Chains A and B, each alone.
Chain A
């Protein structure tokens, strides 16, 4: 049931406003406002989903952040974080 709720939410949030709203003249201020929601949610979720809050645990996160900042690629950043975590685990 929760999957159905999330799927419906995801679909509605993408399609309905686009259908209802005529061409927005000032989407920039809307985007800036809602980006705060995204930033806060991503920040809190990152902390909550870390296995443990330790200095060692932050190393892959910092690396992912640097890669995301430098290359703007989510895939590459996640890949580097996994490699670093594997290195920390096995070396």
Chain B
């Protein structure tokens, strides 16, 4: 059980990560002239920075629902194993805990919980709720504050979306296999954009990245059978 000051640092980590990103997300929504309620609604319902940003990214591209749903599904696929992973670290677990924490389990909450296995589910729950409301409030404030900004500033703020994806991407590049997946996805995306093949092809770039990573992982395992990671 973590107490007092020790617990406060986790709230600070969450706040440091959520406030600027939430403000930028709200401002980006405003730059697309979506108003303040859309980013607030997205934050309260979808509650996934990556999926919400993908939604906003797809708005100007005008893509149909299916590729967006598939992309959001793939983006959030990692969430599937966050809960079971946290459970495997802790002896306590109840359906009530899962229903209370599960809907609010994000990358940041998962990372903070993983950092300290002594954090019990009763401590993770308020931390997760804090992150949820802070994210919603930040995105709402971002859209409000940006209404007072000029068009040039809003255009500049639009960089927040690709920057968010880069920031989520870089810490995950931990091996040649992951770099291979990134290079493949980036290279194909650039080619598709220059070839003006249409945004639907983004799914192909994503799946090709996954495929190349899996292929390289299996080749590396074949070269070194003791290697477990992909």
Contact = CB atoms under 8 A, between A and B. Distances in A.
A53 to B, nearest CB: 6
A85 B159 contact: yes
Nearest to B48: A10
Tell me the dominant secondary structure on chain A's binding face. Answer: helix
Given A3-B41, A40-B206, A43-B189, A73 B159 contact: no
A61 B185 contact: no
Contacts, number: 289
Contacts of B153: 86, 89
Contacts of B206: 37, 40-41, 44
A17 B77 CA distance: 11
B223 interface: no
Contacts of A45: 50, 53-54, 57, 71, 75, 162, 165, 202
Interface in A3-38: 3-7, 9-11, 13-15, 17-19, 21, 23-25, 27-38
A82 B189 CA distance: 23
27 contacts: A2-B65, A2-B68, A3-B42, A10-B76, A10-B79, A21-B84, A29-B230, A31-B81, A34-B80, A36-B214, A37-B206, A37-B210, A38-B50, A39-B181, A41-B71, A41-B74, A47-B189, A48-B57, A48-B199, A53-B193, A69-B171, A73-B16, A76-B16, A81-B159, A81-B163, A82-B156, A86-B156
Given A39-B185, A46-B166, A49-B165, 4 more contacts: A40-B182, A41-B185, A44-B202, A45-B202
Interface of B: 16-21, 24, 41-42, 45-51, 53-55, 57, 61, 65, 68-69, 71-85, 87-88, 93, 95, 98-99, 102-103, 105, 108, 152-153, 155-173, 177-178, 181-182, 184-186, 188-190, 193-194, 199, 202, 205-210, 213-214, 228-230
